[in-house]
Amino acid sequence: MEFTIIECPNSYEKILRGGNVIRVIGRGRQLSPGHPAGNQQRENQLPILNFLTKNTNIPFSHCLQNGHIQYLGQYRFNNMNKKITQEGFQYFEFEFYRNSYTPV
């Protein structure tokens, strides 16, 4: 399984700290890439959560607005948080660290 972050101005998905930290939203309906269109249910996140806890080398790519795809490297799962959008929708955010990154 590979994750691709699609560059979009309304996205809640983020690439932080020079690419060492990535935050992606959970599975569910989306208005645009990285922007939930309704409440995400925890049950829908369980298959991906099971995969993430068993695999430490998860490849990530970044799809730029011009259509080019940039490989970011391999990451490990760190955390899952439940959040609320500005519209009031509940969604899940997954946080990943680059394998060579140690948080301070």
| 104 in any annotated domain | no
| 69 in any annotated domain | yes
Residue 62 is predicted with a pLDDT of 94
Tens digits of residue pLDDT in 2-32: 889 988 888 899 999 999 999 999 988 888 8
* Residue 22 structural domain: 3-98
Query: What does pTM read for this prediction?
Result: 0.87
Nearby residues of 96 by Cβ (< 8 Å), 6 or more positions away: 21, 22, 23, 24, 58, 60, 75, 76, 77, 78
Q: Which CATH number covers residue 30?
A: 2.30.280.10
Structurally, the chain folds into a number of domains equal to 1
